[in-house]
Amino acid sequence: MESPLDILRRVFGYDEFRLQQGQAIEHVMAGGDCLVLMPTGGGKSLCYQIPALARPGMGLVVSPLIALMEDQVKALRQNGVNASYMNSTMGYEEFLSVSRAALRGELDVLYVAPERVMKENFIDFLSRLKLSVIAIDEAHCVSQWGHDFRPEYLRLGALGRLFPDVPRIAVTATADEITRKEIIARLDLSRGQLFVSGFDRPNINYQVVLKDSPRRQLLAFIKEKHIGHSGIVYCMTRKKTEDTAQWLSSQGIDAMAYHGGMDGDSRREYQRRFQEEDGVVMVATIAFGMGIDKPDVRFVAHLDMPKSLAAYYQETGRAGRDGLPADAWMAYGMTDVTGQLRLIEMSDGDQAFKRINRQNLDVMLGYCETTECRRKTLLSFFGDSCPVPCGNCDTCDHPVSTWDGTIHAQKALSCVYRTGQIYGTGHLIDVLLGKSTPKVLEVGHDKVSTFGIGKDLDEKRWRSVFRQLLALGLVAMDPQGYGGLRLSRESKPVLKGERPVFFRFDPEKSSKMSKIKTK
Ligand code: ADP
Ligand code: ZN
């Protein structure tokens, strides 16, 4: 029998397997189920096409898009593979001739739309065939939280029970944790294996700085590393893109604002300038990016924290497509967290939707506050791995030192408790520092036992403590986004002295920054 590698070479004309293609194919060849996650262009199709050819019988591929189906079948036929599809564009005669060919055992691969697969007569038809593999393309369509949700996908989970002897392989480029878990659960793949590869973008350097004066920090970053380069600066609001672009322009940077509120003509014109000219900085909302394929974007900066790590990965992924060094830079602070929470609260999603979004935010915050390699944190979210230390992120370049903050964590948490679990960091820090501000006096917090017990740290360090307590889940934020903190289930062991807490030292501002002048 011809081996998968022989088929790769003879039929497809490639020398070697890429990423985890080889491992996934071997697993399917042995009859196992799996979920294969690779970014677009990674080579997912071969993971099921080769087993379809190498195993006896016909491969069935469930694919949601008619155009995609037709392209794939055309490409396979050009390589001499007997491939066909069945979809709603076909007439009855054509349909009959494809099913007859399948029943005669002449087809290697058959593509079908999801709405057809689970119909009773189609299942009957399938049971009269020998199937080599069942592939589910674009498996994220099963996720109810995604943009591509297809209700018909929910029924595909039954295929495993209907055809227990046929290995099943699901593939997608959408790999975030929630989607991944949903695919595994709904497609009944929990006994299958997971193959994740290709998500690393080794030429992108990841860096997160604490917001201090974000615009100036951004300007310093651009002046230090990216004068004359093309870049994207993401902001949360339309107004902020305009203000920031104007200010950057006044500082000698060729910057333009771009957002969904602008008229179509200006949007097209700005997009064209960005695409065709060198050194344009686009200050944009997330409305900018879809359909941009400029290979030499040298940096993507975030002045506001994105809503999830998946969004962050996608947005930063627009940098350095040419493979040359590029930067993903972000400035973040506590106000980003409250801002995002408020957006979630104001959205018209239901409780489950809000809960998922809050979880996404927690993960995003964890990335910002990590003491580990950023790349590792980012990739492990996708289930992918990378060599550690990666040597191309801020925490690898300047390993973060930590300090034993157990006592300070206890002071902070007791202060949250004593003041009634409704106040934000500003007020809590005033109490810890023993400041008799009008607000402190008005609510009588100069009388609580935690008043003035935190004078050994300054305000900035306390802010860092609260941010990290939040990122570690040792304290929770009120879900309405007013910034009030309350204790979490995890707070108790800390308060009882059962759990030590280590904090990172926030990096000092780069010395180069102070040398950069603004106008
Ligand atoms: P995906 O479905 O993951 O977006 P495709 O399966 O369409 O990606 O593959 C992307 C391109 O890479 C295709 O042109 C395919 O022929 C090519 N390709 C796939 N595997 C290999 C390989 N092992 N070596 C070289 N090229 C490959
Ligand atoms: Zn690293």
Q: What's the gap in Å between 168 CA and the centre of ligand 1?
A: 20
Q: What's the gap in Å between 323 CA and the centre of ligand 1?
A: 18
Look at strands 326-332 and 402-404 and give their pairing. unpaired
Distances (CA, A) of 145 to 37, 142, 180, 352: 18, 9, 11, 10
CB 415 within 8 A of CB 466: no
Q: Which atom number of ligand 1 is nearest to the Cα of residue 38?
A: 3
Nearest CA to ligand 1 atom 27: 43
Say what the pTM is.
0.86
- Of the listed ligands, the closest to the CA of 393 is 2
Identify residues whose C-beta is under 5 A from ligand 2, the ion.
373, 375, 390, 393, 396
Residue 479: the pLDDT is 77
Residue 512: the pLDDT is 45
Distances (CA, A) of 207 to 100, 223, 299, 313, 394: 58, 16, 11, 13, 5
Residue 388: the pLDDT is 84
Q: What's the gap in Å between 16 CA and the centre of ligand 2?
A: 29
In angstroms, the CA 98 to CA 321 distance is: 41
H or E element, residue 14: none
Tokens of 257: 């604002």
Q: What is the DSSP string of 205-252?
A: EEEEEE-SSHHHHHHHHHHHH-TT-EEEEE-SSHHHHHHHHHHHHHTT
Which residues does ligand 1 sit against, CB inside 6 Å? Answer: 14, 17-18, 21, 38, 40-46
Pocket test for ligand 1, best of 5, 21, 46 (most atoms within 8 A of CB): 46
CA atoms within 13 A on the CB side of 371: 11
Q: In 292-401, where do the E strands start and end?
A: 297-302, 326-332
Q: Which atom number of ligand 1 is nearest to the Cα of residue 137?
A: 2
**Looking up tokens 């990335």, which residue turns up?**
367
Q: Average pLDDT for consecutive 10-residue bins of the chain (519 residues)?
A: 94 97 98 96 96 97 93 96 92 93 97 94 96 97 89 95 97 91 96 95 96 96 97 96 97 96 92 93 90 91 95 95 97 91 89 88 92 92 89 93 94 96 95 96 96 95 92 84 88 94 76 48
- Of the listed ligands, the closest to the CA of 40 is 1
Q: What's the gap in Å between 437 CA and the centre of ligand 1?
A: 64
Tokens of 366: 């964890």
Nearest CA to ligand 1 atom 9: 43
